[in-house]
């Protein structure tokens, strides 16, 4: 019997629930530790970024309007679907040079992290919100609300766990995300997109762009329809002039840890809104 031909996967972008190639037609070569070509991966352009922000904006109100409990169910579903693809994720990490036991551990921790944040969806309001005592006949509440469209620059390492650690807390409160992931670990990022696409997450809530983040970052930071940018994955010596772009529409800038699990990360992606209400008699 003839040997079966390889069926190679095309690694594409994830925008608005679909998997397009880059509008620019560009790709970059992902090379394994042994120097062999693993895949040609789509390289996002600024127009792909623009399309992703439009998709994220149109999905944001609907995602935030779902009940917190429903968002939790959906994020838990992401973990369930990812669990069924464990071996694939481990394999992809290994192809990018992560050792077998470390890869297995990273995948398991990433799945657990989705579960952990899914649980917080209908609970973190109680922790982050407060009832404030004020000197007057008023009830005074501070409540966390989603910031809106969030851009996330994922850390290069750990590739998969870093992506989940930054993406999941952003989704908990009702933000939608445009994720820029660099050239270090695009395989798991694209597979993560496939998991999201098959987990009842509405199209546009998560958008994942692979490519040269240094090219895209100024456009993301300058985009007037993006409300916050997570720079956890950016190099610490990022030029001040690039970061200053974010000031134009007063974006929230977030710098966290690549591997972190805390309800305070959820709060980082929120706006705190305070309400005064007269006390009735």
List residues binding other proteins (CB under 8 A).
50, 53, 57, 219, 222-225, 245, 248
Nearest to other proteins of 167, 216 (CB atom): 216
Shortest Å, Cβ 255 to other proteins: 22
Shortest Å, Cβ 120 to other proteins: 28
Which among 177, 156, 209 is positioned nearest to 78, based on CA atoms? 177
Hey, CA dihedral for 114, 62, 201, 224, is it positive or negative?
A: negative
- Helix (H), strand (E) at residue 280: none
Q: What 3 state SS string does 174-199 have?
A: CCEEEEEECCCCHHHHHHHHHHHHCC
Shortest Å, Cβ 88 to other proteins: 35
d(CA 183, CA 231): 16
Nearest to other proteins of 239, 248 (CB atom): 248
Give Cβ neighbours of residue 81 (< 8 Å, ≥ 6 apart).
Answer: 195, 198, 199
Shortest Å, Cβ 281 to other proteins: 38
Shortest Å, Cβ 59 to other proteins: 13
d(CA 11, CA 21): 8
Nearest to other proteins of 144, 151 (CB atom): 151
Shortest Å, Cβ 222 to other proteins: 4
Token digits of residue 85:
């693809």
Q: Under DSSP, is residue 21 helix (H, G, I), strand (E, B) or coil?
A: coil
- The DSSP secondary-structure symbol of 18 reads B
Nearest to other proteins of 26, 94 (CB atom): 26
Shortest Å, Cβ 150 to other proteins: 14
Name residue 137's beta-bridge partners.
Answer: none
Nearest to other proteins of 166, 223 (CB atom): 223
Nearest to other proteins of 74, 246 (CB atom): 246
Nearest to other proteins of 11, 219 (CB atom): 219
Name residue 149's beta-bridge partners.
Answer: 176
d(CA 1, CA 46): 48
> CA 51 → CA 58, 192, 213, 226, distances in Å?
11, 20, 16, 12
- Are the C-beta atoms of 16 and 51 separated by less than 8 Å? yes
């Amino acid at each position: 019997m003839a040997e079966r031909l390889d069926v190679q996967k095309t690694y594409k972008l994830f925008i608005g629930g679909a998997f397009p190639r880059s509008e620019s037609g560009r790709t970059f070569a992902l090379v394994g530790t042994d120097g062999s070509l693993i895949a040609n991966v789509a390289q996002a352009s600024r127009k792909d970024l623009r399309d992703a922000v439009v998709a994220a904006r149109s999905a944001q109100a609907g995602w935030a309007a779902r009940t917190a409990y429903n968002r939790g169910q959906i994020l838990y579903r992401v973990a369930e679907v990812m669990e069924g693809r464990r071996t694939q994720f481990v394999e992809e990490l290994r192809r990018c040079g992560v050792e077998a036991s470390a890869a297995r551990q990273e995948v398991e921790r990433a799945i657990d992290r989705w579960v952990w944040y899914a649980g917080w969806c209908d609970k973190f309001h109680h922790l982050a919100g407060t009832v404030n005592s004020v000197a007057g006949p008023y009830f005074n509440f501070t409540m966390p609300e989603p910031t809106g469209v969030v851009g996330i620059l994922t850390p290069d390492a750990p590739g998969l766990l870093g992506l989940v650690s930054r993406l999941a807390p952003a989704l908990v409160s009702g933000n939608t995300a445009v994720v820029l992931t660099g050239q270090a670990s695009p395989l798991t990022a694209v597979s993560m997109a496939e998991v999201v696409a098959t987990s009842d997450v509405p199209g546009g809530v998560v958008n994942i762009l692979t490519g040269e983040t240094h090219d895209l970052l100024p456009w993301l930071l300058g985009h007037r329809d993006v409300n916050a940018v997570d720079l956890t994955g950016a190099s610490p010596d990022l030029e001040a002039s690039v970061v200053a772009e974010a000031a134009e529409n007063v974006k929230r800038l977030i710098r966290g840890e690549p591997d972190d699990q805390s309800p305070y990360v959820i709060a980082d992606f929120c706006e705190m809104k305070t309400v005064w209400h007269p006390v009735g008699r």
